[in-house]
Structure 1
Amino acid sequence: MTDFQNLGLSGGLLKAVAENGYASPTPIQEKAIPLILKGHDLLGLAQTGTGKTAAFGLPLIDRLLADGKVAPKGGTRALILAPTRELVNQIAKNLISYLKSTQLRVTSVVGGVSINAQIKRLSRGTDILVATPGRLLDLVDRKAVDLGTASYLVLDEADQMLDLGFIHALRRISGLVRDERQTLLFSATMPKQIEDLAKSYLRNPERVEVAPTGRTADKVTQSVHFMDQKAKSDFLLQQLKANPDGMSLVFCRTKHGAERLMRRLSQKGLAAGSIHGNKSQNQRDRAIRDLREGKINVLVATDVAARGIDIPGVSHVYNFELPEVAEAYVHRIGRTARAGADGDAVALCAPEEIGLFRQIEKLIGVDIPVAGGEVPPLSAAAGRSKRGGQNRGGQNRGNKPAAKKPPRKRSTKNHNDNTPGARPQKQRRSGNRKSAA
């Protein structure tokens, strides 16, 4: 078995590795660390929960220490981008644990918290900046940070950043980082957009792949129950009450659906919390902390929690609603069976979700065992689009085509602009896909 000592890390980092309880490197760490230490650009493909943060974090810190440089005022020596606040915070937490015996500084910036406090911290300079793309560009526009000082660029969970619509932000940010740099790109899946991204940003990269695309964690026991959508809440309640000592994550598709389900579970006597894009960063942090500390044992979430939450004690993941993108299923169930533990992933599938379910099975290459209910025919999903037959707000329109509305008559009453006969102005939708991160 390979030991961390054989990977070329310095003595100080080997001590940090031991203090963090890492006995031996994971496959992605074993393959990536030596290549990064040699200065290669890297394309790393690995499923969630395989130790990617240490795979790039440990050699990155080693190289920064070897440089012997000082963090520039208002700048950073290394930039790490991640798609969600939770993942940024998790990466920063891990890096800080590796840096206890050094003078290197780690700064994280995400949306949902005071930007003025972040500007103040960045003015002192930092060795490693971990950020979400949206908040980072806000800081760039305010001239609060100089990315031209960064010699290292890491894109973590790049596929999710593309799913969230960050491609233009990534292009702009990469253009602000110095040309002479080492670039590392990590992704759980390899769609064509990631290939194009790698060709654009990486120079003669080494490629490291440790698990087939879409493969789920080995120690997760999967099952599916087929039932009507209306029956899901009562079934979930029974499951959770039958496992009072377990720690569970429950995934919903929409923010409002997650909040509504959390309130129902709480009303039924369960200690539950929620995390989604409508929550402030402090609320999201508090919900995760409450789960870790046992103050709650059920956390209802949208896919903002599908990556970046590392809570070893999670015993069950419930897919209350199947995700519209099959890859998200892999990340959701990867929140259990962490750190060598076992875990259960239970999917609740309504007839109109059978198409989504079949896409998941095709992706992971596994027939998920049926634990209850009758398998509906694939025709039950007729009329649904490839994205699940839902509008952007996530409201299920069902299988019937929408009835055409008669044309609206112009009113003679005054409206928003106080002009007789004028149409009322449409309200702007609050938030967008990026704000959910």
Structure 2
Amino acid sequence: MMSTIDLRGRRPGPRELRQLLPRAEFDVAAAVETVRPICADVQHRGATALYELGERLDGVRPPTLRVPTALLQAALDQLDPQVRAALDEAVTRTRLVHERQLPRSESVPVTEGGHVTNRWVPVDRVGLYVPGGRAVYPSSVVMNVVPAQVAGVGSLAVASPPQRENTGEFAGYPHPTVLAACALLGVDEVYAVGGAQAVAAFAYGFVDESDTAGGEPVECAPVSLVTGPGNIYVAAAKRHLKGLIGIDAEAGPTEIMVLADDTADPVHVAADLISQAEHDPQAASVLVTHSTALADAVATELERRVAATKHSERVAQALAGRQSGVVLVDDLDAGFDVVNAYGAEHLELQIQDAAPLADRVRNAGAVFVGAFAPVSLGDYLAGSNHVLPTGGCACHSSGLSVHSFLRSMQVIDYGPAALREVADQVVALAQAEDLPAHGEAVRARFDA
């Protein structure tokens, strides 16, 4: 079911490993050409374009672009009590972890009469994207909203695709469970807009003249930052509009890499590989091991479990794709080479003495240590964030956090004596860079 890459007897360097390891095809550059006219349409025709794009691309025209507040509350009132309790716990744990991420502003005395203060300032307004499609993601509401709220963002808006399967009062709006999660977190600005057009709507803003239920036309103000996972077109729109807006990342198909030795339980490994494969046919599931016995046992377990799982066709397609596979290595040292070259979104360490060895991981979105920390836990209730870098971007990028919604601002406060102390040095550096007016701006403060 899964292809095998045999690296035993050799230790490729990072560059060669990146070429050898399985990876999903994800051509964002090509997708940009598809989303470019969509974004331009939203920029110039606003709400009219958004209604038409919803009808054409999502198969349903929403009754209104902004979801009525009463409908958000109705979704929460009708939410299954067990699901509500689980969401409450997810919010509590996620908030607990993210509150510890808050940096503190600090004033640094550089010299007598001169100090620099490092201030952390939240983004004014953010657009949070919650995907739809093959699955329902109330957990993504939690993962986007909680760190933004902890950071102190003053204005939050959520967009999620309208669902043509919805009936009754929710017809043409996002999934009721997503709406319920928004209500639970106190977010009342929610839009029935999906895909690239949602990113464009956040970037440019729009006025919906057809929706005057509140007495005035509904206005969505432009945002400073857009976060949240999505399909390739969401990623392409983020790339296209980056600069006009800030973005968290260009998230691609989900990934799991499991580094396992002969102490790992093949049932656990197979179940975890399948859990990520059920997201999407392009999802990547990769096992790295030096135990051929484990690899064989996992293969046997996959055959059994894939046939029995609900989304078996989707899972089988993902596991058989070029993005998935088994990587055989000589030992754990070689396994960690593979792990760090790949930079997985989710990395599981199902190895003996996993906790101390976790420090050897340099590149991963999140690391799951031991047999009882599956990726599914991180998706919902670990307290960590599940919006993570994909496609190897973990070598330079982090997952969504409180820091994603903050900006560092430095405040420089120098008195006359403190400036005079370094005046000659400022002038010297200004002349060295052939920018004499820089030095003159300092001298002007002291020349009689």
Instruction: Tell me the TM-score normalized by structure 1.
Output: 0.27
Q: Which has the higher helix share?
A: 2
Bigger Rg, structure 1 or 2:
2
